[in-house]
Structure 1
Amino acid sequence: MMIKKCGISVVFIWFLIGGIGHFVAPDFFLQIIPPNLPFRLQAVYISGFFEIAGACGLIAMRSRRAAGIGLFLLTIAVTPANVYMWQNSQLFPSVSPTLLALRLPLQLILLALIWWSTKTERHYSYNKNHQSR
């Protein structure tokens, strides 16, 4: 249970800080969105809002699973930005190409951590009871 709380804490901090960053430094996030996507600035603010909302949703057990699902889907939705950065590393000289390449596997780890850490005890007990029948 303590390990799970650590996982939730990591997810909470990751998305809270990231979400705040969307409002503090929108230009950074704007430049990582592929230029062919419409409403880029709005996407920065909307995704930042949902990162903060999702992080806050992790606090209460009652909303944790829904917040986890939302953050999981949001993480998938921002994948094009990560791919764009990786494919256009010359546009981001301050970020090492190795780090850009590692972002995609790290994103898979983040997805697994979100899913695992936000799975509520009710789901665990249901699955255990269901399997024993």
Structure 2
Amino acid sequence: MTDVLDRVKRPLLYVLGPAFVVAGVLHFVVPELYVQIIPPIFPAPLFLVYLSGVAEIAVGIGLLIPRTQQLAAWSTVALLIAIFPANVYMATHGVVIDGMPGGGNPSELVRWGRLPLQGVLILWALWYTR
């Protein structure tokens, strides 16, 4: 099993890094979608969307550079923890996302599925910390 994991570790890095870059770019392309899932307790939601977009782009690129990979992996974990409240808010408050392609009401599966996905992404990022 370890041999299989060793063989897929590098190719999966080329999935994880670009996925974060794309997600980060989307924060600038359609920021209004992300603003809607920021819990109202947080100030300056648009600023937070842009900040998290920059962070996602940075960690995505950092994961692909051997010299920065370990730091970027730890930063990815921190970022995923930092954005978790938005996913909890979306799941627990029935947020309807105006302007979302395909309609603005994500299914319960999507709302709640994002929570364990964060854990999977954290474990995936942790894989590159060593």
TM-score band w.r.t. shorter chain: 0.7 to 0.9
Q: How many residues matched? A: 119
Conserved 8 A contact 2:71-2:129: no
The DSSP-based 3-state class of the residue aligned with 2:67 is helix
The DSSP-based 3-state class of the residue aligned with 1:86 is helix
**Residue in 2 aligned with 1:124?**
none
How far 1:62 moved relative to its partner?
A: 0.8
How far 1:90 moved relative to its partner?
A: 5.0
Q: Describe the superposition over 1:9-53 as per-residue Cα deviations: whole angstroms up to 9, x where unpaired.
A: 221122111100000000001001011210211111011001001
- In the alignment, is residue 60 of structure 1 matched against residue 65 of structure 2? yes
Alignment of 1:2-41 (within 5 A): 2-41=7-46
- In the alignment, is residue 87 of structure 1 matched against residue 92 of structure 2? yes
* Structure 1 runs (4+) greater than 6 angstroms displaced: none
Farther off after superposition, 71-80 or 8-17? 8-17
Alignment of 1:46-57 (within 5 A): 46-57=51-62
Match of 1:104 among 104, 112, 115: 115
Structure 2 length-normalised TM: 0.85
Quote the sequence identity (%). Answer: 36
Structure 1 length-normalised TM: 0.83
Conserved 8 A contact 2:74-2:129: no
Conserved 8 A contact 2:35-2:45: yes
**Residue in 2 aligned with 1:113?**
124
CA–CA separation in structure 2 for the residues paired with 1:90 and 1:46: 21
Q: Which residue type is aligned with residue 110 of structure 1?
A: L
Q: Which residue type is aligned with residue 119 of structure 1?
A: T
Q: What CA RMSD, in Å, does the superposition of the two structures yield over aligned residues? A: 1.3
Q: Which has the higher contact order (CA 8 A, sep 6+)?
A: 1
Structure richer in helix, relative to its length: 1
Q: Highest Rg: 1 or 2?
A: 1
* Structure 2 unmatched ranges of 5 or more: 1-5, 98-103
Q: Describe the superposition over 1:47-105 as per-residue Cα deviations: whole angstroms up to 9, x where unpaired.
A: 10010011111121110000011111000000000000001125344311111111111
